[in-house]
Chains A and B, each alone.
Chain A
Amino acid sequence: MTRKILILNGPGLTDLGDYGDGNDRGLTLEKVRTECTELCHSLGIELDFRQTEDQDEMVRWIKKDSEGYDGVIINPVGCSRAATVSFPVYRSAIRTIALLRKPVVEVHMNNIFSRSAETTGSVNEPAGAMGLVCGLGVHGYLLGIRSIAHRFELDAV
């Protein structure tokens, strides 16, 4: 049976111009999608890659749509900021998946804990998904996919 991974991208990720530096300059969400698709293809994993500007839709995807997948990767952008009202809702949605013992990895392009990161007086708090990768740009997604694929292998033993 083919395993399926759902990748969810939150508000603002259509424009990644500010994220890439060095060789990542000119990064777009389409390039991220292409790299994720190629990696999943090589691992024999089916991929559903989505982006939304609507935080409520994001939460619905996490709570409802994730049921049909074997692993989930989320780049929540602002959803994971402790200061936003949607954070508790987001966190509870993540816990729903974690309770099902499915692998979840939260990915951020930048190091959200960096000294230079703008925190606007609040602390960036990740939601406590199973895995967390931040600061590795597009690599973060690929690490998320590989770690979930590794989990599938371990589970199969």
Chain B
Amino acid sequence: MAKTIYVVNGPNLNLLGTREPEIYGASTLKDIEDRCRATGTRHGLNVVFFQSNHEGVIIDRLQEAIDKAQGIVINAAAYTHTSIAIHDALRAFKGFKIELHISNPHLREPFRHVSFVSPVVDAVVAGLGTYGYELVLDVMAAELNKDEFRRSA
């Protein structure tokens, strides 16, 4: 059966392509979604892609993923630096988790240097632009298609 990956996008990412393109690039969220779906199709993965500006909605979808998905790619955007609730929801998910950022938060304002997401995921990928979405889905596919997928503690 096809593995399911949730690609979760946080606040303001719906403005991609128009908001500070010098930082985030010219791609819109729809462009990214299309490329994620194409990548998923290539690997035989079922990609569930969504965005919300609301913390509670993101948490509801992360909880839904517990039963429905084998992997999560999370770009929690600004909630990365504020949300203990997203931290807790991610801890409850036992599949493969990758934190993704389009830019590198460590190069930016000090208030973006702490992530509540990083301690509860398997991996962090930042600063590779919107191409990062396709790259992490390739890794997800490679890892999830292994017979015995590695588990972090």
Query: Given A21-B150, A23-B148, A114-B152, do A135 and B122 touch, yes or no (CB 8 Å)?
Result: yes
Shortest distance in angstroms between B131's beta carbon and chain A's nearest beta carbon? 5
Shortest distance in angstroms between A139's beta carbon and chain B's nearest beta carbon? 5
Starting from the known contacts A111-B122, A143-B125, A143-B135, 8 additional A-B residue pairs (CB-CB under 8 Å) come to: A22-B150, A113-B124, A128-B107, A129-B104, A129-B127, A130-B107, A131-B125, A132-B125
Binds A, one of B3-11, B42-50, B54-62, B113-121: B113-121
A-B residue pairs, 5 tightest by C-beta = A135-B123, A22-B150, A113-B118, A131-B127, A147-B128
- Sampled A-B contacts (30; CB under 8 Å): A22-B146, A22-B148, A22-B149, A22-B150, A111-B121, A111-B152, A113-B118, A116-B153, A125-B106, A126-B106, A127-B106, A130-B104, A131-B104, A131-B125, A131-B127, A132-B104, A132-B106, A133-B123, A133-B124, A133-B126, A133-B128, A134-B123, A134-B124, A135-B121, A136-B98, A136-B125, A143-B125, A147-B129, A147-B135, A151-B129
Residues in chain A within 8 A of chain B (CB atoms)? 21-24, 105, 111, 113-116, 125-136, 139-140, 143, 146-147, 150-151
A115 / chain B contacts, CB cutoff of 8 Å: 119-120
CA distance A132 to B135 in the complex (A): 13
Which of B115, B127, B135 contacts A146, CB < 8 Å? B135
Residues in chain B within 8 A of chain A (CB atoms)? 98, 104, 106-107, 113, 115, 118-129, 131-132, 135-136, 139, 142, 146, 148-153
Shortest distance in angstroms between B43's beta carbon and chain A's nearest beta carbon? 14
A150 / chain B contacts, CB cutoff of 8 Å: 129, 131
CA distance A56 to B82 in the complex (A): 37
B98 / chain A contacts, CB cutoff of 8 Å: 135-136
A23 / chain B contacts, CB cutoff of 8 Å: 146, 148, 150
Query: Considering only CB atoms, which chain B residue lies closest to A147 in the complex?
Result: B128
Which of B113, B118, B128 contacts A111, CB < 8 Å? B118
CA distance A134 to B100 in the complex (A): 11
Shortest distance in angstroms between B27's beta carbon and chain A's nearest beta carbon? 11
CA distance A114 to B148 in the complex (A): 22
CA distance A22 to B144 in the complex (A): 12
A128 / chain B contacts, CB cutoff of 8 Å: 104, 106-107
A21 / chain B contacts, CB cutoff of 8 Å: 150
Query: Considering only CB atoms, which chain A residue lies closest to B149 in the complex?
Result: A22
CA distance A129 to B146 in the complex (A): 31
Contact B139–A136 (Cβ < 8 Å): yes
A133 / chain B contacts, CB cutoff of 8 Å: 123-126, 128
CA distance A111 to B123 in the complex (A): 5
B115 / chain A contacts, CB cutoff of 8 Å: 113
A105 / chain B contacts, CB cutoff of 8 Å: 127-128
Which of B118, B128, B150, B152 contacts A131, CB < 8 Å? B128
CA distance A125 to B120 in the complex (A): 17
